[in-house]
Amino acid sequence: MNFDFTDDQHAIKRTAKEFLAARYKPERLRELAEAGEYDDAVWAEMAELGWAGIFIDEQHGGQGLGIVELVILMEELGYALAPSPFFANAAAGLVLQGAGTDEQKQRWLPGIASGEGTGTVGVLRDGGAPLVPDADTAAVLVLLDENGGGTVVTGADAEIEPRATIDSTRRFSSVRATGGEPLGSDTEGARAAICTALAAELTGVAQRAMEMAVEYAKDRKQFDRPIGAYQAVSHRCAQMLLEVEGARSTTYYAGWAADNEPESLPLAASMAKAYASDAGWRVTASSLQVHGGIGFTWEHDLHFFLKRAKTDGHLFGGAREHRDRVAGLALRSGAAVGA
Amino acid sequence: MDLTLSPKEQAFRDELRAWMEANHPGEEPEGDEAAFEFRTAWQRKCHEDGWAGISWPKEFGGRGATLIEQAIFNEETVRAKAPAQANVLALAMGGPTVITHGSEEQKQRFLDPILSADEIWCQGFSEPDSGSDLASLKTRAVKSNGGWKVTGQKVWTTFAHHAKWCMLVARTDQDAPKHQGLTYFLMDMEQEAVQVRPLVQITGEAEFNELFIEEAEIPDENVVGGVGNGWGVAITTLMHERATLAFGLQVQVKIALAELVQLVRDEGLDDDPVIRQRIGQLVTEAEVLRLNAYRGLTQIMKTGVPGPEGSLGKWHWSDVNQSLTETAMEVRGPEAPVVDGEWTYRFLRARANSIEGGTTEILKNIVAERVLGLPKLR
């Protein structure tokens, strides 16, 4: 039993943290978020580093690594709050690699892996996908239906309407499409891997918001004392740590299950997404409370984190939906209880 | 990352499971005396077959198990619904303290009877006016001929009514700063000067006791770790087993959860959306308990220092266990307050979880100050 990354995985994490901290300094982040833009040069660098295809097979142009490596990158992207098409593109890669036909894989995975022809995934509801990340620039779109299947369409075949969300660090659209090519197989595993990736991003966002709160609580003085000396504040910070660590543990476990124990993945991923969706919101909201009035201002960066966390929490099923799925598994077979 | 057991760890688990199955003594009898006898007999059997003192070094009669093996042992004991070993406080805390801080003579004198359950131990740390603030304790020991005379009062003393020895912390220097005037003693409970009075709890049981001590005698050779060093020795005692404690607790929660899931089915609430949300949350939280414990253990094995997950475990467990039993009451509906010997007992007993072994408030202080580095209010 060893619940730790390998040396290589630690190296990926270190590199990602340093790279993203250098590229997305707070001023730059704000500039991009306020303009609603990504930095194409940074995306090209990420692709150069092999990030875009980190989990994609080598035969399709990827690095041939696993979901744990994807989790590592997503956590750091969340920590840096990177405005980037990384997630949307990875989601498309996960579905096509997991459920695409051979032909679909050959056609789309190399572009996704190199970052030159990005993809995205939407979840259909009443015939359209209401909130699809980075659909406006995607070369290929996968639309998942309610029965575990999905279709593949090109940008040219889809009606894409940009939508403003509270999260200005990313771009979203609604998508409608008729026709398209059905996927080759069931998407359950791919959906679970997508949820795991989002849980990882939420963990990173929450970690950063907690660090901001702790730093502020040490510096900010009221009644001649740092506010972090008051239990109302320090206990709130301790609660943040509990939730961040819980989100991290369930997410890493789901990543490990995806690579090593796929039969455990659907449950593990739903637990991770449920827990991290709540933790992402509660920790960022709690961090805002610790910051007081300044945290509510546009001028402070915290709101970008809070809004991204809220948005991630609702993508690919919110906490309520995933908790219900966990309960269903427990009540049906008892397997989820696992004593 | 590898969340499966190594072949050696798996072999340990298999051997233990087979042994538990072959030797399981069945249901624990009702009544304090009978139950304690039963646990004593169980510990003797464990000791005979080499399953007492799992993490103690082999030279002192233990098994010399790794942290993971200790964790597996805790998990498997709960999973098999095997009884607790009678001398649990001495096995988990007293013995390891003597091994770390005791003299050669103390090791010779005290360790064997702990393993064989011939001498039961209790722990005299808490006092009526000093629970969380251990350094403020008032029980005092005054030097006498060849030893010490101890006077004071202790409280929440588990097993005091069965115990031969008490790990007692008393003030030996009134003038020294709070932490420095304390000494760790092993007090013989079988003397007139020590009176034990059971404390009846909200469950109606008496697990704990009050201890009234009036000039009890303790010889010099029963000081552990030197006069005035009680604080450090006591901390060692409290540190022992914290690392692996969570493993037994998380399995306990999972077993209770399986029973709760059955209760939900029996009550026909499988499709109740509110209950489903609670069950989904509890299943997830129970998994967080398990996974945080695993991550904490990995951290200790790698660096020798518990990670932040370790400090969170006990507090989180008490939250989860309380919320689990509250959900069970909700599911039982109008039957909930009826005494059933099962859920009502657990529901009431769980109220102690956030107090015993360090209150949630104190644990949050520890996390805030030592893990997050926030300033102290003092």
Q: Consecutive sets of 10 residues in chain B, 378 residues long: mean pLDDT of each? A: 90 96 93 92 96 94 90 89 92 92 97 97 92 87 96 94 96 91 97 96 90 97 96 80 73 92 96 97 96 88 75 92 98 94 93 91 93 88
Q: Do A1 and B279 touch (CB under 8 A)?
A: no
Chain B nearest-CA distance from A40, in A, is 34
Q: In this structure, what are the phi and psi dihedrals at residue A225, rounded to the nearest 5 degrees?
A: -135, 150
Q: Do B297 and A1 touch (CB under 8 A)?
A: yes
Buried b (16+ CB within 10 A) or exposed e, A1-36: bbbebeeebeebbeebbebbeebbeeeebbebbeee
Q: Which of B297, B316, B317, B329 is nearest to B253 (CA)?
A: B317
Mutate to test the interface with A, among B9, B288, B370 (most CBs of A within 10 A): B288
Q: What is the pLDDT of residue A7?
A: 96
Give the chain B residue nearest A2 (alpha carbons): B2
Q: What is the pLDDT of residue A338?
A: 64
Give the chain A residue nearest B261 (alpha carbons): A331
**What order of strands is seen across the sheet that includes strand A181-182?**
A119-123, A140-144, A150-154, A181-182
Chain B nearest-CA distance from A175, in A, is 31
SS (H, E, C) chain B: CECCCCHHHHHHHHHHHHHHHHHCCCCCCCCHHHHHHHHHHHHHHHHHCCCCCCCCCHHHCCCCCCHHHHHHHHHHHHHCCCCCCCCHHHHHHHHHHHHHHCCHHHHHHHHHHHHCCCCCEEEECCECCECCCHHHCCCEEEEECCEEEEEEEEECCCCCCCCCEEEEEEECCCCCCCCCCEEEEEEECCCCCEEEEEECCCCCCCCEEEEEEEEEEEEHHHEECCCCCHHHHHHHHHHCCHHHHHHHHHHHHHHHHHHHHHHHHHCCCCCCHHHHHHHHHHHHHHHHHHHHHHHHHHHHHHHCCCCHHHHHHHHHHHHHHHHHHHHHHHHHHHHCCCCCCCHHHHHHHHHHCCCCCCCHHHHHHHHHHHHCCCCCCC
Q: What is the pLDDT of residue A178?
A: 86
Chain B nearest-CA distance from A235, in A, is 6
Q: Do A250 and B284 touch (CB under 8 A)?
A: yes
Give the chain B residue nearest A228 (alpha carbons): B374
| CA–CA distance, B272 with B276 (Å, rounded to integer) | 6
Between chain A and chain B, how many beta carbons pairs sit less than 8 Å apart?
177
| CA–CA distance, A322 with A276 (Å, rounded to integer) | 11
Q: What is the pLDDT of residue A323?
A: 98
Q: What is the pLDDT of residue B151?
A: 97
Q: What is the pLDDT of residue B110?
A: 98
Q: Which of A284, A276, A339 is nearest to A312 (CA)?
A: A276
SS (H, E, C) A227-246: HHHCHHHHHHHHHHHHHHHH
User: What mean pLDDT, rounded, does chain A reach?
Assistant: 96
Chain A nearest-CA distance from B219, in A, is 43
- What's the mean pLDDT in A94-103? 98
Check: CB of residue A30 under 8 Å from CB of residue B28.
no
Helix, strand, or coil (residue A146): coil
| CA–CA distance, B287 with B190 (Å, rounded to integer) | 45
Check: CB of residue B140 under 8 Å from CB of residue B183.
no
A335 touching B (Cβ < 8 Å):
no
Q: Do A1 and B2 touch (CB under 8 A)?
A: yes
Q: How many helices (H) and strands (E) does chain A have?
A: 11, 9
Residue A244, both tokens? 């961040």
Q: Do B376 and A68 touch (CB under 8 A)?
A: no
Distances (CA, A) of B370 to A149, A249, B305, B310: 49, 21, 13, 12
Q: Do B283 and A214 touch (CB under 8 A)?
A: no
User: What does the angle CA A228 – CA A234 – CA A240 come to, to the nearest 5 degrees?
Assistant: 125
Distances (CA, A) of A60 to A68, A92, A110: 19, 14, 5
Interface ipTM: 0.95
Q: What is the pLDDT of residue A339?
A: 56
User: Tokens 């989820």 map to which residue?
Assistant: A336
Q: Which of A131, A105, A291 is nearest to A198 (CA)?
A: A131
Q: Do B276 and A4 touch (CB under 8 A)?
A: no
Give the chain A residue nearest B312 (alpha carbons): A242
DSSP state of A272: H
Largest CA distance in chain B: 73
Check: CB of residue B299 under 8 Å from CB of residue B309.
yes
Q: Do B374 and A320 touch (CB under 8 A)?
A: no
* Active-site annotation of B, residues: 241
A26 touching B (Cβ < 8 Å):
no
What sign results for the dihedral spanned by CA atoms A109, A115, A117, A118?
Answer: positive
Q: What is the pLDDT of residue A267?
A: 95
Q: What is the pLDDT of residue B243?
A: 63
Q: Do A3 and B291 touch (CB under 8 A)?
A: yes
Q: Do A339 and B261 touch (CB under 8 A)?
A: no
What sign results for the dihedral spanned by CA atoms A203, A209, A212, A217?
Answer: negative
Distances (CA, A) of B248 to A59, B75, B145, B290, B293: 46, 5, 45, 10, 10
pLDDT interval class at A336 (50, 70, 90): low
Sequence-separated (6 or more) residues with CB below 8 Å from residue A255 = A66, A67, A68, A70, A71, A196, A200, B1
A271 touching B (Cβ < 8 Å):
yes
Q: What is the pLDDT of residue B257?
A: 94
Task: Please name every residue paired with B140 in a beta bridge, in sequence order, or none if there are none.
Answer: B151, B171
Q: What is the pLDDT of residue A29?
A: 97
pTM: predicted TM-score of the whole model, two decimal places: 0.94
pLDDT interval class at A1 (50, 70, 90): confident
Check: CB of residue A83 under 8 Å from CB of residue A41.
no
Residues of chain B with C-beta less than 8 angstroms from the C-beta of A252: 1, 291, 295
Residue A205 above 70 pLDDT?
yes
Mutate to test the interface with B, among A70, A210, A227, A271 (most CBs of B within 10 A): A271
| CA–CA distance, A306 with A167 (Å, rounded to integer) | 9
Q: What is the pLDDT of residue B378?
A: 66
Chain B nearest-CA distance from A5, in A, is 5
Mutate to test the interface with A, among B12, B285, B287 (most CBs of A within 10 A): B287
Q: Do A249 and B5 touch (CB under 8 A)?
A: no
Q: Do B284 and A327 touch (CB under 8 A)?
A: no
User: Tokens 């499971």 map to which residue?
Assistant: B17
Pairing of strands B182-188, A129-133: unpaired
Chain B nearest-CA distance from A156, in A, is 41
Q: Do B9 and A1 touch (CB under 8 A)?
A: yes
Please write the tens of the pLDDT for every residue from A270-317. Answer: 999 999 999 999 999 999 999 999 999 999 999 999 999 999 999 999
Helix, strand, or coil (residue A185): coil
Q: Which of B325, B8, B291 is nearest to A272 (CA)?
A: B291
Chain B nearest-CA distance from A200, in A, is 15
Mutate to test the interface with B, among A236, A331, A332, A333 (most CBs of B within 10 A): A331
Q: Which of B357, B279, B284 is nearest to B318 (CA)?
A: B357
- What's the mean pLDDT in A201-227? 97
Check: CB of residue A154 under 8 Å from CB of residue A139.
yes
Residue B132, both tokens? 């969380």
Residue B262, both tokens? 């059955």
User: What does the angle CA B161 – CA B162 – CA B163 come to, to the nearest 5 degrees?
Assistant: 100
Concatenating the DSSP letter of every residue in A68-125 gives HHHHHHHHHHHHHT--SSHHHHHHHHHHHHHH--HHHHHHHHHHHHHTSS-EEEEE-B
Q: Do B283 and A234 touch (CB under 8 A)?
A: no
Task: Please name every residue paired with B182 in a beta bridge, in sequence order, or none if there are none.
Answer: B171
Chain A nearest-CA distance from B11, in A, is 13
Residues of chain A with C-beta less than 8 angstroms from the C-beta of B3: 1, 3, 253, 256, 260-261
- What's the mean pLDDT in A206-231? 97
Q: In this structure, what are the phi and psi dihedrals at residue B356, rounded to the nearest 5 degrees?
A: -65, 145
What sign results for the dihedral spanned by CA atoms B336, B339, B345, B349?
Answer: positive
Residues of chain A with C-beta less than 8 angstroms from the C-beta of B273: 324
Chain A nearest-CA distance from B265, in A, is 7
Q: In this structure, what are the phi and psi dihedrals at residue A235, rounded to the nearest 5 degrees?
A: -70, -35
Give the chain A residue nearest B367 (alpha carbons): A238
Chain A residues 198-237 with a CB less than 8 Å from chain B: 214, 217-218, 225-226, 228-231, 233-235, 237
Residues of chain A with C-beta less than 8 angstroms from the C-beta of B368: 228, 234-235, 237-238
Q: Do A271 and B284 touch (CB under 8 A)?
A: yes
Q: Do B280 and A228 touch (CB under 8 A)?
A: no
Residues of chain A with C-beta less than 8 angstroms from the C-beta of B277: 320, 323-324, 327
Q: Which of A134, A100, A103, A97 is nearest to A117 (CA)?
A: A134
Cα atoms in the 13 Å half-sphere on the side-chain side of A90: 29
Mutate to test the interface with B, among A68, A214, A241 (most CBs of B within 10 A): A241
